[in-house]
């Protein structure tokens, strides 16, 4: 079955630690996205990539980094520079003008 | 800039009631897409509908219907005869670049719908 997988489902980070969230898709989609969701808020764009080896910052990119070395994969690293990383992180992908498909999300908590 | 406003933060209805979720948007583009997504308690966003701005016909899918009015920049979503399984957060969204392909979405803050048995 085609879809988007995110791992881990839950992630705990200590202060000053970098962590990486995984996002993989087997839909052969060109574009991939990372959104952050805080309680009671809509989704906000962190980074997106429309093609391999290229990506653009979203509204809240500070303290995050990404890579797009393969079409299927778009990992997100939350660095120690991100002062308030506790949130729900959603990865999505799309092709052409179709809707975005979302993964199940990763819930990150800072200890 | 693109903006989506969902003024209703939370709505509670009794099962079998009809409910309408409001969505008002702002866009600089003359043609654009609009989307509705459902987020059940599991957290994953589920796609419901995509509407192109030059198609103003209302759309019905089972108990779901959508009313798109370009004149008032609104794209409202109605659930008829609501069920407990409809309980979720619903998001309206607009691409940051009109009807271009593979562009990020701007989301409203969502409306939490609770359907009580």
Model pLDDT, residue B54? 85
The sheet with strand A4-7 has its strands ordered as A4-7, A19-25, A76-78, A64-66
* Contact between A99 and B108 using a beta-carbon 8 Å cutoff: no
Model pLDDT, residue A16? 86
Percent over 70 (pLDDT), chain A? 98
Model pLDDT, residue B59? 85
Given a cut of 80, whether residue B87 has pLDDT beyond it is: yes
Pick the more confident residue, A64 or A15: A64
CB-based contacts of B57: which residues, under 8 Å, 6+ apart? B68
Given a cut of 90, whether residue A95 has pLDDT beyond it is: no
Question: Judging by DSSP bridges, how do beta strands B10-14 and B111-116 pair with one another?
Answer: parallel
Q: Report cis status (omega within 30 of 0) of the bond before A8.
A: yes
- Would the CA dihedral through B43, B49, A29, B25 be positive or negative? negative
CB-based contacts of A39: which residues, under 8 Å, 6+ apart? none
Given a cut of 80, whether residue A90 has pLDDT beyond it is: yes
Model pLDDT, residue A71? 96
Query: DSSP string of A50-72?
Result: EETTEEEE-TT-TTEEE--SBTT
Percent over 70 (pLDDT), chain B? 97
CB-based contacts of B109: which residues, under 8 Å, 6+ apart? A40, A41, A42, B6, B9
Of A65, A85, A64, nearest in space to A15 by CA? A85
Model pLDDT, residue A94? 93
Say if CB B5 and CB B108 are below 8 A apart: yes
Q: Chain B: nearest CA to A74, how far in angstroms?
A: 15
Model pLDDT, residue A64? 97
Looking at the complex, does the CB of residue B108 fall below 8 Å from at least one CB of chain A? yes
Pick the more confident residue, A18 or B57: A18
Integer Cα distance of B36 and A32 in angstroms: 19
Closest Cβ opposite residue B44 in set A40, A96, A102:
A102
Quickly state the pLDDT bin for B58 (edges 50, 70, 90).
confident
Integer Cα distance of A42 and B21 in angstroms: 15
Residue range A1-39, pLDDT digits in tens = 679 999 999 999 888 899 999 999 999 999 999 999 998
Per-residue pLDDT, averaged over B23-39, amounts to 94
Helix, strand, or coil here: A12?
Answer: strand
* Contact between B104 and A33 using a beta-carbon 8 Å cutoff: yes
Of chain A residues 22-61, which have a CB less than 8 A from chain B?
30-31, 33, 35, 40-45, 48, 50, 58
Given a cut of 80, whether residue B34 has pLDDT beyond it is: yes
Neighbours of B40 (CB within 10 A): 13
Q: Chain A: nearest CA to B117, how far in angstroms?
A: 24
Say if CB A103 and CB B107 are below 8 A apart: no
Optimal mutation site among A6, A23, A34, A42, interface B, most CBs of chain B within 10 A: A42
Say if CB B88 and CB B47 are below 8 A apart: no
Model pLDDT, residue A86? 95
Chain centroid to CA A58: 11
């Amino acid at each position: 079955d085609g879809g988007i997988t995110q791992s881990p489902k839950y992630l705990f980070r200590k202060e000053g630690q970098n962590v990486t969230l995984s996002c993989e898709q087997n839909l052969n989609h060109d574009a991939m996205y990372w959104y952050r969701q805080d309680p009671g808020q809509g989704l906000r764009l962190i980074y997106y990539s429309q093609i391999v080896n290229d990506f653009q910052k979203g509204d809240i990119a500070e303290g995050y980094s990404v890579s797009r070395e393969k079409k299927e994969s778009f990992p997100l690293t939350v660095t120690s520079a991100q002062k308030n990383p506790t949130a729900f992180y959603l990865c999505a992908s799309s092709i052409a003008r179709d809707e975005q498909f979302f993964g199940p999300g990763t819930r990150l908590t800072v200890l | 800039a693109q903006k989506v406003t969902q003024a209703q933060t939370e709505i509670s209805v009794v099962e079998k009631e009809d409910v309408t979720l409001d969505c008002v948007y702002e866009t600089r583009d003359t043609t654009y897409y609009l989307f509705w997504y459902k987020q059940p308690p599991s957290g994953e966003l589920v796609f419901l509908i995509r509407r192109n701005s030059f198609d103003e016909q209302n759309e019905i899918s089972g108990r779901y219907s959508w009313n798109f009015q370009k004149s008032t920049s609104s794209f409202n979503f109605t659930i008829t005869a609501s069920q407990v399984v409809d309980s979720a957060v619903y998001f309206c969204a607009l691409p940051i670049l009109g009807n271009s392909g593979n562009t990020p979405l701007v989301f409203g803050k969502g409306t939490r719908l609770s359907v009580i048995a």
